[in-house]
Structure 1
């Protein structure tokens, strides 16, 4: 009844259409697993039949014993023991099979949603905290997977269980069926309590879980900064604040569940004792036998359980649409712009390198708040081009634009081959870039594994060559296991300068025609910095090297220098570049 009220309210506020979309999206995954769904239905029906046969056999055994006619007892006992042993073996085997199926299905759905999330436009996805995305990806995916695959089998099996049990009761005593059916409206009315506010509680708990996970993810990702700024007590207090809020939300839901369970249990007790009293009366009146009484009491519990399961399918499905909506919110975000039509031509042209050009570009993260306006930029093959300017003025924004993570609001961001053919910078052109971002980007694993991320089939010799170009091999070869030395998270075990050179070597190994260094030489001394940049240009011909920097040594090596200031990119003349070097 509460479910019907929710649906009526949805119709009134115009959101029933959205709820139907969520429902269809969730069960679109079930289409791929028709065989598994049929298998679950067969398994449930078979289990129900076995349980009913066992109950009838118990009834017959009791009647035989109480009637002092034990001639048929041995056969009934054999049947019961056989059924019990078969049920034990069958349930154990099915438990193993269903676990394998459930894991495979959940992994498939999780992988599909992962692929969709990873293809979402970076700017739109960046608006969601990483902890929130992680919680949706783990918790909500599991809810959707279980609902998508289990809803139909649960409905069919519980319906069959209810009807079959009712038929058994009716066969032995039709008047008992009338009392059994009285259970239905009572439980239907009481289910209103269970449905009330369930959607709100579920939503609040999931959102609180997302907040906690985001805090934990962010904290442990920045533990070095927290320690460096002596913020451990602050984050300790924040954790306890999150814990208090988490406790309040979950205790509120727990209190609601306790009250609901008490009410439903009291109703169940009344129905159970009514059934027991009526069964005793029918036994005393001689209408039923001891075995039939036992059978009725057993089946009463089964009917109540079946009906509760049928009723609970509705709120659980309504609740699962919350998870579906949370996932749809992410996976339905705009996709990255990819244009693979000319990928083969570009791959061939990449051997000779590319130029990068921005023409009259405007860009803003927030509407009407421009970060870059009316700006020009160009970098050509065999050039080192520097981008300088105060922090927060847009240097990293330019790097994102080169990589196709963002696109201009107006103007053109293009890549040009040696023949003058132009292609718009987007996600599909990203493969022609090697990128060394600010900060430490070393992953857990060996040095070789870190480098092979960008070229999985790279030989040890190719890795060593890249390390030499990045001026990293001199210290790597002295490590206990050389390139196979294991590193901790974010390069634990290396200095900042060493980690930076490993990152540069990884970009060199990728051997893309365009190299982006975003403050990537800041931890290197001037001599090493010059040597690294010269090695890249001399040993890897046709490279376009774009560097964001504050270092005068890079400016002296650059063919062009651009300054980002007051939201505009300006090319500096030689005198202005020389003056900037002097002012450093």
Structure 2
């Protein structure tokens, strides 16, 4: 207002008496007159000096505005990126905490999408508007207060039309969450196809299925294309709609305010121009808030997908008074357990005792429930009925970390990581020395090939150990278990993936390792378990017969038939 006063009315009489404050509604005039008074005091009768002073004042105000804008963005950057880091860390911790069963129901690609694109969507939609949440409402409040000081009547008129335009904008935004959810889910689908393709590339190529898998991937990306277009077109409608509605409000305001200046004379021309500037000052943050509400609706879908994992409670959580167990003294008891993965029972009223220092072998056809025993003993799943105990204590009353600390597991699929031989073995015992690693490799008959690798134990073995043969990978898995040196060993078909020569090498290693150690051996090849203290033959989740190798052969039952089928004398 003082600038307009100086430019358009330089001959106006300057106030010689300092203005007095006459209440909030007259604050506009008080502020304008005060500035005029100080300008005339400083500039005297020279209008150009007054102009320079007002321009300097405006530049100072905008310098401060932009300085604090930068500082606001500077500090909020740490908050945004910190929230992002914490979200990813919490998601990863939850991924490790949730049971194996959770991932048998979910696609891996979908979980990866939640880590990547969903978390980024939260950054773009929620965290990018953090400054708006604080800044824009304050801008609107202070602007309204200034508008009220100029004209209460005109301000009330503005506020009749702003909610109407806000309501129209919100109607457009309602379907954004639903459309965004489809986009996020489809992203999970094509990432899953990509993950499966990388895992099974050999099979896809050998069966000439490239076209089939490319078709599946293209179908998914076509759906993603369609959903993304629909979402973006709806989002793009926000800006022109809010722009047009905003100009509509300004147009009505020009008509109403113009009448107050020209017809009623109840408003001064310069006050009206300033009021229009303030009204536009409200529309800018109002548009930013409406755009932010669109972003929030889009981000809601991503946030719900992330929270679905974060809020999932693991059914295998430790009890509040779970005990720590550091030693194993008498026996493992599998007491009348029943278990099902989905509808059909895999184990029915199954009972077994494994005394300390003894090896018990579980044999039987595929699907008889052998590997399920390994999953339940290590508490990857919980039994539906009965219980499994160690030294008479239910494993559900023990801390999972404590229970698994007593056990070493060697699975049929040798699970290795894209790292060095040494780091793969050290998973068994992180603080072990190089000599201990080499000793473990020797016991597992793996040192013979590791010593010839380009960098010995420091050689990277590739993704999932892809640079090694099946037998070599399995011997590294056994070396990892040897290094851990647990009192209980669970071998889940540990030699089934090996050729005859590797099997013989590994079998010697396993027998060395199992001396004076409690072992549950799940085997397909009966040659590997002839020396077990007890052999349990399983059929459809129940015990068909049990005894030593010689006793079972003498019985002439199921075990003998299995032996004959495998052509072992």
TM-score of the superposed pair, with normalisation by structure 1: 0.77
Is 2:554 aligned against 1:583? no
Partner residue of 2:211?
233
* 1:550 correspondence with 2:500: no
142-151 or 123-132, which deviates more: 142-151
CA–CA separation in structure 2 for the residues paired with 1:60 and 1:478: 87
Cα distance change, pair 67–536 in 1 and its aligned pair in 2 (3 A): farther
2:447 to 473, 479, 482: 473
Match of residue 540 from structure 2: 566
Q: Size of the alignment, in residue pairs?
A: 516
Query: Is contact 1:560-1:571 (8 Å) kept?
Result: no
Contact 1:508 1:536 in 2 (8 A): no
Is residue 517 from structure 1 mapped to residue 491 from structure 2 by the alignment? yes
Q: How does 1:182-261 map to 2 (within 5 A)?
A: 182-261=160-239
Q: Give the Cα–Cα distance (whole angstroms) in 1 for the partners of residues 507 and 317 of structure 2.
A: 32
Deviations 1:506-541 (A, max 9, x none): 122222222222222233344543443443453575
Consecutive unaligned residues of structure 2, counting only runs of 5 or more, are 11-46
Match of 1:410 among 382, 385, 390: 385
In 2, are the aligned partners of 1:519 and 1:547 still within 8 Å (CA)? yes
Superposed CA deviations along residues 224-259 of structure 1, whole A, max 9, x for unmatched, are 333343322211110001011112222222333344
Distance 1:109 1:403 in 2: 29
Q: Is 438-447 or 176-185 further displaced after alignment?
A: 176-185
- Aligned residue for 1:73? 51
What RMSD over aligned residues (CA atoms) do the two structures have, in Å? 3.4
Do 1:362 and 1:410's aligned partners in 2 also have CA atoms closer than 8 Å? yes
1:328 shift after superposition: 4.8
Distance 1:539 1:204, change over 3 A: closer
CA distance in 1, matches of 2:313, 2:440: 38
Could you tell me which residue of structure 1 aligns to residue 316 of structure 2?
A: 336
Task: Kindly indicate whether residue 480 of structure 2 is the aligned counterpart of residue 506 of structure 1.
Answer: yes
Matched, 1:305 2:281: no
Conservation of the 8 A alpha-carbon contact between 1:386 and 1:554:
no
**Stretch of structure 1 that moved more, 300-309 or 228-237:** 300-309
1:522-571 CA distance string (max 9 Å, x none): 33344543443443453575422333232233022323323332232334
What TM-score, normalized to structure 2?
Answer: 0.79
Shift of 1:108: 2.3
CA distance in 2, matches of 1:294, 1:455: 76
| Distance in structure 2 (CA, Å) of the matches to 1:379 and 1:232 | 49
**In 1, distance between residues paired with 2:69 and 2:237?**
34
Q: CA deviation at 1:301?
A: 2.9
User: Counterparts in 2 of 1:447-462, with a 5 A limit?
Assistant: 447-462=421-436
Larger radius of gyration: 2
The answer to whether the 8 A contact 1:279-1:296 is kept is no
User: Helix, strand or coil for the counterpart of 1:550?
Assistant: coil
Matched, 1:423 2:403: no
Residue 257 of structure 1: SS of its match in structure 2? helix
Q: Summarize deviations over 1:142-200 as a string: whole Å, max 9, x none.
A: 66688887888755543322111112233334454244324312223313422433332
Of 365, 368, 377, the residue aligned with 1:393 is 368
Higher helix share: 1
Contact preservation (8 Å) 2:443, 2:509: yes
2:509 to 535, 541, 546: 535
Correspondence for 2:471: 497
Q: Using the alignment, how far apart are the partners of 1:63 and 1:458 within structure 2?
A: 83
**217-226 or 432-441: bigger deviation:** 217-226
Per-residue CA deviations over 1:369-423 (Å, capped at 9, x if unaligned) read: 111212233434444433333333323222211111112222222223xxxx433
243-252 vs 425-434, which moves further: 425-434
* Secondary structure of 1:191's aligned partner: helix
